[in-house]
Amino acid sequence: MKGPHNLWRLIRTGATFERTGAMRVVLEAMNVPPRLRVVARVMGWPFAWLGLKGDPALPPVTRALTALGPAYIKFGQILSTRPDIVGLDLANQLRYLQDKLPAFPTAQARALIEAELERPVEAMFSDFSDPVAAASIAQVHHARVAETGEEVAVKVLRPGIVKAFRRDIDAFYFAAGMIERLLPSTRRLRPTDVIAHFEGVVMGELDLRLETAAAAEFAANTAGDRGFRVPQPVWHLSGRQVMTLGWAEGAPLGDNAAIDALGVDRMELGERVLQLFLKHALRDGYFHADMHQGNLKVAANGDLIAYDFGIMGVLDEYTRRVYAEILFGFIRKDYRRVAEVHFEAGYVPADRDVEEFARALRSVGEPIFGMDASRISMARLLNYLFEVTERFGMQTRTELILLQRTMVVVEGVARSLNPSINIWHVAQPVVEEYIRNNLGPAALARDLGRALTVMARFGPHLPGAVEGALIRLRTPLDPAPPRRSLAPLAWFIAGAAVTWAAVATWLAV
């Protein structure tokens, strides 16, 4: 399905933003230069009549994103945590996308539950409410388990959501491909790989059996974390389209007035959000990758409660060590070491100058220290980092996309609780503890012990493996397979050329 027909989808996206008035709001919120604003409006205005109308009762940007579909709503959820990028007013509007979307009928939800679990709802739940929250992928009902009386949250996927997401992702693939072809300088960012990663994450989120397993694993990993809770899953009342978890009662993390009414210190809570995320990423290599305000609550005793585990991040041990060393280097202002780590990990091509890269990193890191986050424009900082990495040929690391995105979201959440929070000061004790436990002599001895254990486990196979390798070395190489004809691709190349020319002409108008 990935093809030129998606050009219509992209045109309609811009047209919807223009028709709903979202285009003007976004351009102003992002502080786009006046000349570019004029160009964007002129390009969008002729197509406005093609845009989706949306719900007139909603603010413009929220109206446009909800009309365009679930993938766009996900993007809006991320921006809702970044008032430093989109402005406080727009961020507050976008929070609507976290858990206040229109719900589908309760009768339809009950029918889906019964079809999935093959039992009447009344036999499973003594009470079953109307929707208490609705988001882009699913909605939640408050219920009580008939057998035990336990209060639970029952999550049910939206009807037709899989098809809707596939349609949006198909358009994103087309856009990524066109960007790579029309703007070759963006290829180092691997837009298509980024979309492939996004697709894998989202499609996993659409199978609630995987989310149930993620909740169970995350709860086990974090059982000892003070001030943090994860509701326990109810396995026999969960399936592909239905998930049942213990009920989480608390104030929404996006409601500062409610948090203050509980008597919870918001400054400490903001620091806790950041430090818990870093602990889970570095210590466990398994972290909640969708930590916006809509997925977090504050209990009456001040505990932070996490839920919605459809997107979880996984980091192997080596990547965790690289990430920790980079953070630690920035914290200590050891830019030479940060540069060396990038080269050792292969993030920067080996033919570049490490000293020059270290100086570039210093120009990024130094302005951060000594000032609170309210004085830092994260949008400007990220733009400068992009320029630096482009100059040194650093490619996008798809394995770090989720970590980087979540770090941005978590910092935004923490900043909503405490606008003057400084991520580096808060991160320092967590990163230092990880460095002590994983990069010292004890860690080296532990790594050697693991290597010996693996070798011992495969010891009986070593003689045969060595003998097979020697035999292959003495065997002549097979002749190269015949070259395949490229003629069958001619029709595709011709069609693609016409399409690219048309898009380029449209963009240049």
Distance CA 235, CA 215 (A): 11
Helical H runs in 235-377? 256-261, 266-279, 317-331, 335-344, 354-365
Find how far residue 507's CA is from the centre of its chain.
29
Residue 245 DSSP code:
E
- Whole-number Cα distances in Å, 129 to 117, 139, 142, 390: 18, 12, 5, 52
In this structure, what token pair is assigned to residue 416? Answer: 């909503």
State the catalytic residue, choosing from 84, 168, 290, 308: 290
Q: What is the 3-state secondary structure (H, E, C) of 493-504?
A: HHHHHHHHHHHH
In this structure, what token pair is assigned to residue 343? Answer: 């080269």
User: Parallel, antiparallel, or unpaired for β 125-134 and 151-157?
Assistant: unpaired
Task: Count how many Cα atoms sit within 13 Å of the Cα of residue 205 in the half-sphere of its side chain.
Answer: 26
To the query of whether residue 84 is one of the catalytic residues in this protein, the response is no
**C-alpha radius of gyration, the chain, whole number:** 26
Give the DSSP letter string of 455-494: HHHTGGGHHHHHHHHHHHHHSPPPPPPPPPP-GGGHHHHH
Query: Known catalytic residues?
Result: 290
